[in-house]
Amino acid sequence: MANKEFDVVVIGAGPGGYIAAIRAAQLGFSVACVEKWTNPTGKMVLGGTCLNVGCIPSKALLASSEEFEKVGHHLADHGITTSDVKIDISKMLARKQGIVEKRTGGIEFLFRKNKITWLKGHGKFVGKTDAGVQIEVSPTQDGEVETVTARNVIIATGSKARHLPGMPVDNKLISDNEGALSFDTVPKKLGVIGAGVIGLELGSVWRRLGAEVTVLEAMPEFLAAADAGVAKEAAKQFKKQGLDIHVGVKVDEVKTGKNNVTIHYTDKDGKANTLEVDRLIVSVGRVPNTDNLGLEAIGLAADQRGFIPVDDHCKTSVPNVYAIGDVVRGPMLAHKAEDEGVLVAEVIAGQKPHIDYNCIPWVIYTSPEIAWVGKTEQQLKAEGREFKPGQFPFAVNGRALGMGSSDGFVKVLADAKTDEILGVHVIGLNASDLIAEAVVAMEFKAASEDIGRICHPHPSLSEVMREAALDVEKRALNK
């Protein structure tokens, strides 16, 4: 087979990879993207972890479980009477899969539209020539092994769930995030190891559907990455909902029976405990997919944790080879990977793009949602940076009250002297959308006064952002 040559070859078609491929094609390059993902029906698909077993399906299940809980527990407040409410798990999962297929099919359409070649299989570096980097593509289904030449390569192979020794994941009794998206029945008792983003979201899904959920977290503090005030409010809300969260836990042993899992653990006070559950979700972070890439063939190596070292423009130590997303430093967030994909395509084109990593938002899609951008109070205190906080609750917001979800608040942290916004933290309804205003403000180095002086629609949840900004100078209008 003749060796195909491309200006840009992207390895991986998750959010970082497919966006990088599209942007490179928009800039006039000949582009190929290597992807081997096969869905449960045996069809090869694009979209990577995020679209197939991550962000998109989990949000679909979160939405379904929220509707179920709303009907069973909250519609009566609106004067709507219901009875004998049931959940059809198979139909819920089919809906989730339908959304996934719509999105992955959409990326296939975008590849055709932008004339991007999809190389179906596993990509591996095999060497370098004067013409460029050699990549061997081994088909996971029918076809022959082929080698392509790339003048530029973007590594976007993403990450996989971290598994722990002594906890063999079979995605039946012990599941990672992938298995937890496909339970065929609601477990009566569910254990979750890890109170991070994925653990809390998946725990919330099955708790709403009727499971008794216990979350075991090794860290001494709950949601240590979030602002301390937000973490405290979140712990209060989750406890009220029925999520039983234990921090400072050391898991000593996990045993599987025929239809159950027994976890022996030591709590933060040093006391031995036993938890018996029907199913266990192990959600203890993710590790980069950098094994079996043949990095050594081009003189590249991952660090001890499996990450590929890069500079501020995602360049590796090998000329014309870049890496983005979960395989490099920084938060493992799909939107961070997308922005890096755009950045690299533009760098290859000779442009001068830039990413301010301090302005990348974080979101947890629980109920209430949690979102933040910039620095937390504890980070600013540790830096010795003088700041002024402003905070406003959803409890007095007309729109939140009308929607029956008035828990939480918005907090704005601004520099004590210049009033520049240093961080914004939201816990409440639609936090994932509200945080975008704060991201724009911080990218433009706005002051809290700028948000406070912008007219916000009434009644809307966005008014809480404005009131929190006004509260920095203690002039909130509804407080």
Q: What is the pLDDT of residues 39-56, one digit of tens each?
A: 989 999 999 999 999 999
What's the pLDDT tens digit per position in 227-245?
A: 999 999 999 999 999 999 9
Q: List own/partner pairs for 320-323 with CB under 8 A and 24 or more apart.
A: 320/132, 320/133, 320/151, 320/152, 320/153, 321/133, 321/152, 321/153, 321/155, 322/152, 322/153, 322/154, 322/155, 322/347, 322/348, 323/154, 323/155, 323/156
- Asked if 215 and 73 count as a contact pair (C-beta separation under 8 A), the reply is no
What distance in Å separates the CA atoms of residue 440 and residue 192, rounded to the nearest whole number?
A: 35
How long a stretch of residues is the chain? Answer: 479
Mean pLDDT of 23-43: 96
pLDDT at 2: 52
- Token pair of 204 as six digits: 């919330």
Alpha helices (H) in 27-176, listed in sequence order: 48-53, 55-69, 89-113
Helix (H, G, I), strand (E, B) or coil at 160: strand
- Strand-pair category, 31-35 with 189-193: unpaired
What distance in Å separates the CA atoms of residue 447 and residue 422, rounded to the nearest whole number?
A: 9
pLDDT band at 3 (very low <50, low <70, confident <90, very high): confident
- Strand-pair category, 132-138 with 122-129: antiparallel
Alpha helices (H) in 309-430, listed in sequence order: 334-348, 377-383, 398-402
Q: Has residue 1 got a pLDDT over 70?
A: no
| Residues paired with residue 372 on neighbouring β-strands, in sequence order | 362, 425
What distance in Å separates the CA atoms of residue 133 and residue 163, rounded to the nearest whole number?
A: 33
Catalytic residue numbers, as ranges: 458
> What are the angstrom distances between the C-alpha of 180 and each of 198, 202, 351?
10, 7, 42
pLDDT at 71: 94
Burial class from Cβ neighbours inside 10 Å (0-12, 13-18, 19+) for residue 354 reads exposed
Neighbours of 181 (CB within 10 A): 22
pTM confidence score: 0.96
- Token pair of 258 as six digits: 């025929």
> What are the angstrom distances between the C-alpha of 476 and each of 373, 448, 452, 464, 473?
22, 12, 9, 10, 8
Q: Has residue 90 got a pLDDT over 50?
A: yes
What's the pLDDT tens digit per position in 98-112?
A: 999 999 999 999 999
Which one-letter DSSP state was computed for residue 477? S
Neighbours of 458 (CB within 10 A): 11
CB within 8 Å of 438: residues ≥ 6 apart: 361, 373, 374, 412, 421, 424, 426, 451, 465
Q: Which of 110, 112, 34, 60 is nearest to 294 (CA)?
A: 34
What distance in Å separates the CA atoms of residue 252 and residue 154, rounded to the nearest whole number?
A: 41
What distance in Å separates the CA atoms of residue 476 and residue 467, rounded to the nearest whole number?
A: 5
What's the farthest any 2 CA atoms get from each other in the chain? 73
What distance in Å separates the CA atoms of residue 305 and residue 288, rounded to the nearest whole number?
A: 8
Average pLDDT over the chain, rounded to an integer: 96
CB within 8 Å of 112: residues ≥ 6 apart: none
Q: Has residue 140 got a pLDDT over 90?
A: no
Mean pLDDT of 102-125: 98
Helix (H, G, I), strand (E, B) or coil at 143: coil
